[in-house]
Structure 1
Amino acid sequence: MRRFVLAVAVLCGISTGLAAPAVAGTHNRAEAAAGWLARQLVDGERFEADFGGEKFPDQGLTIDAIFAFASARVSDANAEKAITWLARPEITTGYVGSGTEAYAGAHAKLMLAALVKHKNPASFGGVDLPAGLRGLLTPSGRFSDRSDFGDFSNAFTQSLALLALDRTQAGAPAPAVTFLAGTQCADGGFPLNFGQATCTSDVDSTAMVVQALFATGRATDAREGVAWLVTQQQADGGFRAVANGPTNANSTGLAAEALAKHRPAAAAKGRAFLRSLQVGCTGPAADRGAVAHDASGFNPATAPRATAQAILGLSGVGLADLNGGGRPQAPVLACS
């Protein structure tokens, strides 16, 4: 009988005296963004990619969310669900590769997520991630993919590998650090792709590389990268992914997290730009806290990735300093 009364009450909107716990409100923009991001996870645990109407697991964006939650120190209940989902053997191997396929960037990014969440990366989803990553280190010092489809490794791959391995007892391999530092362009920035005829510095890549070089003791090279990065900041405080492109949340989030400890004034301008893209109290309640990709406005297709990368810039916590934990709740933007 009690079950019937509860069912009728729910359907009719009648109060039963059994109030649901209120979702905490926050005025902190990074926390509000992390709360919104947590509510976009499928089943509270993962992101999915849609290709022609078919859904596929999106491990990379799910890991970005874990980094964002750790940075904002909220939504930890969702972070735990996400890392548990990533540790399912079919999800792990579907990302890092199996058999003849092994992807360095995926090994590195997943290993860093495991370490941030205090999981054992040597036994994660049935895979020894550190051993697998070190097995992809070439004599040149570059971490490269082993794949029939080609080598997709780049500056993000190398940076994530150094950041992950630097947290281990053995540390990051010296040849890998030297290789990454050696990719620096004449202007001080760093390219996305290696071995190009013309070295072209890239904002997103430089933001990643300087974090890895600071973490592994190459401060001089890293500071030169920071100096170049500051020259790329636009009048609105944002950063562009490509020349003449719009300033955007993704590039600005990466740059602001890289600048936070080294150029605080530039980082503060970046945070102000990110806040200008955030859906506030005048926006629909379901969208509040989300960060749009650019000034064209909120787009549900691009907002999850833009928000995930913006959060680290909003919080000012870089990848080398992430430490899992924090409040379990996914807060909402306080509008009282």
Structure 2
Amino acid sequence: MSALRRTFGLLAIPALALATALPAATAAHAAPAAATSSPTVRPDAAAAGWLARQLVDGDHFESVFNGTAYPDQGLTIDAVLAFAASHSSDQAAAKATAWLAKPEIISGYLGDGTTEAYAGATAKLLLAAEVRGVNPTAFGGIDLPARLRSLQSPEGRFSDRSQWGDYSNAFGQSLALIALHRTPGGAPATAVDFLANSQCADGGYPVSFGQAACTSDPDATALAAQALAATGRTAKANAGLGWLAAHQNADGGFVAAGATASNANTTGLATQALLSGGRFGAGVKGWSRLVKFQQGCTTDPAVRGAIAYDASGFNAGNGSRATAQAVLGLGGTPLATLSAAGARPDAPTLACPAPASH
């Protein structure tokens, strides 16, 4: 069961001051799916509001496997980050954070800390605690920074300690650097070096470490670029951003490894990295693509504001995860500075005109 719980939502593999960067993209929001939305509800806030209303019991997400629902801590954390990125839905975020801190929930996600301890999950939860402004050294009774540091190998890699094997990768390494950068001790230089040295010859970053052929991945590159920018490796980060910009689709979206069409998850992470890294031309194109995935006033009221995974239309099976990661791109704030401070408490609803009376 531990391996199964680890799989769900760790990283299905995320506000910038966009006033000067997004006027043209805002005009693009007048696409058919969003033509009648109110300008007083930003696309990121409308998406996050929809996401908040999908929480099970108002405080968490679940994933279904073979007909059985399991708590999905990873997706719940994605939602917490999305709420902060949109500066909205703070009440939902607070409830989700409290759920994540429950002993049975946190142990099922992080492991028991001795025989089972998962690096990527620990890094992601640490980041969520920091974003929420709660004490990460006593979250659910666990010192998250200390737990994460204990999982660093001598060469700098953050690795799992588990009977199920080591599934740590560039996603977790990047999140660990970002999260530890936000702690008083900062990110260990050896860990920063390890990620920087994993860079492929073309400037991108792979998901898995140590493979014979280094293959750049857009999701991994987006997170690595943010992590390296936060920890002072500007040249390495810029190379990653350059790789992303060079691999952007003509429609502004980004294609996941092995896929043929752009999707909201990959586009959300890449757009966040580009906007937070100052690549506004490519970033605005990605932002515009995400807005076109958003469900507007002509759609079923139950899905208005949500972000579809791809151009095939909204799918309830992947809509929550697509929306959560798309909001990171729509908000544009880097993970290294993301904060829930000042977020509006309510979950905004896409404003649509009342039906015409006859």
Taking structure 2 as the reference length, the TM-score comes to 0.86
Please tell me the root mean square deviation across aligned C-alpha atoms, in Å.
1.2
Give the whole-Å Cα distance in 1 for the aligned partners of 2:222 and 2:255: 12
Give the whole-Å Cα distance in 2 for the aligned partners of 1:169 and 1:242: 36
Give the whole-Å Cα distance in 2 for the aligned partners of 1:244 and 1:40: 27
SS at match of 2:336: helix
Residue type at the aligned position of 2:292: S
The structure 2 residue matched to 1:93, chosen from 104, 107, 111, is 107
The structure 2 residue matched to 1:268, chosen from 284, 307, 315, is 284
Alignment of 1:330 with 2:347, yes or no, is yes
SS at match of 1:332: coil
Equivalence map 1:21-36=2 (5 Å): 26-36=40-50
Q: Which runs of 5+ in 2 are unaligned?
A: 1-37, 354-358
The structure 2 residue matched to 1:69, chosen from 76, 83, 101, is 83
Bigger shift: residues 70-79 or 93-102: 93-102
Q: Is the 8 A contact 1:25 1:331 kept in 2?
A: no
Compare CA radii of gyration and give the structure with the larger one.
Answer: 1
Bigger shift: residues 24-33 or 271-280: 24-33
Give the whole-Å Cα distance in 1 for the aligned partners of 2:298 and 2:117: 47
Equivalence map 1:263-302=2 (5 Å): 263-302=279-318
Alignment of 1:54 with 2:68, yes or no, is yes
The structure 2 residue matched to 1:186, chosen from 184, 195, 201, is 201
Q: Deviations over 1:211-237 (max 9, x none)?
A: 000000000100011001101100110
Q: Is the 8 A contact 1:25 1:333 kept in 2?
A: no
Give the whole-Å Cα distance in 2 for the aligned partners of 1:238 and 1:263: 15
Task: Name the % identity.
Answer: 60
The CA deviation at 1:27 is 3.0
Give the whole-Å Cα distance in 2 for the aligned partners of 1:247 and 1:121: 35
Q: Is the 8 A contact 2:218 2:256 kept in 1?
A: yes
The structure 2 residue matched to 1:233, chosen from 245, 248, 272, is 248
Residue type at the aligned position of 1:77: Q
Q: Which residue of 2 aligns with 1:314?
A: 330
Give the whole-Å Cα distance in 2 for the aligned partners of 1:245 and 1:68: 26
The structure 1 residue matched to 2:261, chosen from 232, 246, 254, is 246
The CA deviation at 1:122 is 1.0
Q: Is the 8 A contact 1:280 1:288 kept in 2?
A: yes
SS at match of 2:47: helix
Higher RCO (CA-CA < 8 Å; seq separation 6+): 2
Q: Which residue of 2 aligns with 1:214?
A: 229
SS at match of 2:252: coil
The CA deviation at 1:51 is 1.2
Equivalence map 1:76-225=2 (5 Å): 76-98=90-112, 99-225=114-240
Q: Deviations over 1:118-170 (max 9, x none)?
A: 11111111211111100000011000000011001000010000011001111
Residue type at the aligned position of 2:304: R
Q: Is the 8 A contact 1:121 1:130 kept in 2?
A: yes
Taking structure 1 as the reference length, the TM-score comes to 0.91
Q: Which residue of 2 aligns with 1:9?
A: none
Residue type at the aligned position of 2:134: K
Q: Is the 8 A contact 1:155 1:192 kept in 2?
A: yes
Residue type at the aligned position of 1:266: A
SS at match of 1:144: coil
